[in-house]
Structure 1
Amino acid sequence: MIARARLITVVATVLAGAVGIISSTQTWLTVVLADGAAHALPVPGAAAIPVLAPLSLAVLALGGALSIVGLVLRYVFGALTVVIAVVLGVLTGQIVLAPPLAAVAATVTTATGLTGTEAVAAMVVGIGTTPWPAVTLVAWIVLLAAGLLALATARRWRGSGRKYSTDAATRASATAGPAASRPHDAIDSWDDLSRGDDPTAR
């Protein structure tokens, strides 16, 4: 389980972020207005929760970063993942349980030109929900679990950059070795002159 903790955390985080991005473009709520219109006004997720899209993008970035960062940043990013999951979970949960007027106010204002809480409230007859808020809430619960898993297991993740840094150091030493042992020739003297050094002064 510990050996797969990084993979599970990264995959769960990226999937949750992807669900959030997709969900932000889908209809979360439908609003019936007191204007005699027969159709319901759709409210997308990004309008119901203005921070849904940007925070979902941040979650995607965190998922990618968690796959490569060192120990300290694992804890930092794990904590950020938990905070974002809680914030989005609370906001989404409110809409699932009882959609607040604020979630549809911007859409109603755009459609009718009315502003102000009282004017919007007087125009709204009813608010319905689609399955998308509930689906997205599940994604935030998964994200919270992923963040907690990262915090609990980060110290035991295998370092991803050790192999690459070792290989880079080996290649650098192999390249620098012959150059350091090669005698100083005329080409090197011209290079010294181009840098402003006088080889005759040595």
Structure 2
Amino acid sequence: MIRRARLVAVVALVACGAIAVISSTQTWLTVVLDDGAAHALDVPGAAAIPVLAPLGLAVLALGGALSIVGPVLRYVFGALSVAIAVILGSLTGAIVFAHPVGAVASTVTEATGITGAAAVAELVSAITPTPWPVLTLATTVVLAGAGVFTLATAHRWRGSGRRYRTDEARAAAPATSRPHDAIDSWDDLSRGEDPTDRPLD
């Protein structure tokens, strides 16, 4: 399990970030206005929680970067994942359990032109949630678990930098007896070396 810990953490973060971004585009709440015509408005996740999409993208970035970073940044990214989970969890939990008018205020104001918390509250007659807030709340729990898992196992992860050390390995390898050709010259230039300094073969 420890050998796959990095993969588990990366997949969990990427999945949670993707769900958060997708959720921000879906309808979270349906609000009915008491304006004589009983208008119903759909409130997307991005309107209910404006930071949902940005934080979802941040989690996606953390998941991608976690696959290549060193030991110190693993702990930083794990802590950031837990912090984002706490923020999103508290905001989403308020919508799931309380259905606050503030979550639909921007959508109502955009549709009616009415501003002010009290005026919007008087206009709203009902707020009905969809499954998306509950799904997002569950996602924040998984995200927090992934962050804690990262913090607990990061010190045992196998290093990922070996593929980035090919130049050093090539430089340390003993010289072969084959002639120095044009490809070798390009390799020298890519490492910042002057191929003309080599002795003639």
TM normalised by structure 1 equals 0.85
Distance, in Å, in 1 between the alignment partners of 2:106 and 2:171 is 58
Letter of the structure 2 residue corresponding to residue 166 of structure 1: R
Q: Which segments of 5 or more consecutive residues in structure 2 lack a partner in the other structure?
A: 176-187
Q: For residues 117 and 15 of structure 2, what CA distance do their matches in structure 1 show?
A: 36
Q: Quickly say closer, same or farther: Cα 1:148–1:32, change in 2 above 3 A.
A: same
Partner of 1:148: 148
Residue 74 of structure 1 deviates from its aligned partner by: 0.4
Alignment of 1:169-180 (within 5 A): 169-173=168-172, 175=188
Write out aligned runs for 1:109-128 (5 A): 109-128=109-128
- 2:87 counterpart letter in structure 1: V
Q: Which runs of 5+ in 1 are unaligned?
A: 184-202
Question: Are the structure 2 counterparts of residues 115 and 180 from structure 1 closer, same or farther at C-alpha, using a change threshold of 3 Å?
Answer: same
Give distance in 2, aligned partners of 1:71 and 1:43: 41
1:81: which partner in 2?
Answer: 81
- Rounded to whole Å, the distance in 2 between the matches of 1:142 and 1:182 is 60
Task: Give the percent of matched residue pairs that are identical in Structure 1 and Structure 2.
Answer: 66
The amino acid of 1:91's aligned partner reads: L
Letter in 2 for 1:50: P
Q: Which moved more, 1:147-156 or 1:169-178?
A: 169-178
Q: CA RMSD in A?
A: 1.8
Task: Write the distance in 1 (CA, Å) between the matches of 2:79 and 2:43.
Answer: 31
> C-alpha distance in 2, partners of 1:116/1:97?
23
1:1-202 equivalence runs, <5 A: 1-161=1-161, 163-173=162-172, 175=188, 181-182=198-199
State how far apart, in whole Å, the 2-side matches of 1:72 and 1:150 are: 12
SS at match of 1:36: coil
| Offset from partner CA, 1:63-115 (integer Å, 9 cap, x none) | 00100000000011110000001100111111111111110010010011011
Distance apart, 1:37 and its partner CA: 2.4
TM-score normalised to structure 2 length: 0.85
Q: Tell me, in whole angstroms, the C-alpha distance in 1 between the residues paired with 2:36 and 2:167.
A: 71
Aligned to 2:165, the other structure's residue is in SS state helix
- Give the letter aligned to residue 130 of structure 1: T
| Paired positions, count | 182
Cα-to-partner distance string for 1:32-74 (whole Å, 9 max, x where unaligned)? 1011224411000000000000000000000001000000000
Code of the residue aligned with 1:84 in structure 2: it is I
